[in-house]
Amino acid sequence: MKALVKLVEGPGLEFTDVPDPEPGPNDVVVRVLRTGICGTDLHIDAWDDWAAKTIRTPLVVGHEFAGEVVEIGQAVTATKIGDLVSGEGHLVCGTCRNCKAGRRHLCANTRGLGVHSNGAFAEYAVLPEQNVWVHRNPIDLDVAAIFDPFGNAVHTALSFPVIGEDVLITGAGPIGIMAAAVARHAGARNIAITDVSDHRLELAKRVGVDLALNVRHASIADAQTVLGMSEGFDVGMEMSGQPTAMRDMIANMSHGGRIAMLGLPAAEFPVDFSAVVLKMLHIKGIYGREMFETWYSMSVLLQAGLDLSPVITHRYKACEHDLAFATAREGNCGKIILDWTEN
């Protein structure tokens, strides 16, 4: 089969032939139809410090996908051949304290599909049945392919109640924009989103934010003034991983405010913890999705009319991956989809 592979240590990926995957007793094989490009894939392609420390070659990359089940292992019980599925990219051990308690998203031994094991940027992918989400209702294939990052957005946006609250989102990447859409759908009063990219801020406006603020030209304090606020934001969602964003968010939170932090900083940075203490802020780290409550919430939100189409801006054939990755690196885009049916 054709796959996008990190063959050797160093920059670049190869679109090449690899053996078809074979399922173990508890596995399913999926014919991949669509995949989404993630920031993790860009790190692996560029072979930055994180990739050099983490990735073992050769590796089929990719973890955002949707496809059709074409083969199942002997012990598979619920998933059927022909099912349309998306995949949960976090592979958990099943034996640690949290896994045994049903808190699989907190597994200390989590491994990543397309990071620690062969992934989904291929004509076929194999993964455990427990990591498969079967779509029981009609769904657009492009949307099904981005259930993984959509789950990050839902997990972040619904970590704290947002109905009637003033929400601040720092970072208008695809996940930040999806989080804004979820917060709007869930009944937030005011939603402000910040970034340094006018293109992404325009995308955010399409999902209904009240204020899209370019922080090169204005401050979060200015956002409060524009929205007629005086006591700060009730709920913060930090999506950028930028130190200044987190510090500015803390400075503009209300007393008793709650912050969900998904953005992963590249290095340690100082925080005004006196403000955290004196304002009695609650800061929660977010990693991935709650398995599988978040997945249930995602499906219900789409059934209830949540529209993710503004977030998907570019579509390419899988064999056009060079162009797709270049577009992703430029940043003037939302989610980018690779079509594996047209190679």
Q: Which amino acid is at 315?
A: R
Is 93 flagged in the annotation as binding?
Answer: yes
The reply to whether 200 sits in an annotated binding site is yes
Does 43 qualify as catalytic in the annotation?
A: yes
What residues have CB less than 8 Å from 117, skipping those under 6 apart? Answer: 91, 111
264 known member of a binding site: yes
**262 belongs to an annotated ligand binding site:** yes
CA distance 225 to 72: 57
Q: 49 among the known binding-site residues? A: no
Task: Give me the catalytic one of 40, 79, 170, 294.
Answer: 40
Which residue out of 16, 35, 43, 341 is catalytically annotated?
Answer: 43
Whether 175 has a binding-site annotation, put simply, is yes
The per-residue DSSP string of 133-192 comes to: EE--S---HHHHHTHHHHHHHHHHHTSS--TT-EEEEE--SHHHHHHHHHHHHTT-SEEE
User: Whole-angstrom Cα distance, residue 64 to residue 62?
Assistant: 6
User: Is 141 labelled as part of a ligand binding site?
Assistant: no
Answer yes or no: is 107 a known binding residue: yes
According to the annotation, is 189 in a ligand binding site? no
Q: ∠ CA(250), CA(253), CA(256), 5° rounding?
A: 110
Check: CB of residue 299 under 8 Å from CB of residue 321.
no
Whether 40 sits among the annotated catalytic residues: the reply is yes
**What is the identity of the amino acid at 87?**
G
Alpha carbons 104 and 46: distance in angstroms, whole number: 31
Q: Is 296 annotated as a binding residue?
A: no
Q: Residues at the annotated binding site?
A: 38, 63-64, 93, 96, 99, 107, 175, 195, 200, 262-264, 286-287
What positions carry a catalytic annotation? 40, 43
Q: Residues at the annotated binding site for NAD(+)?
A: 175, 195, 200, 262-264, 286-287
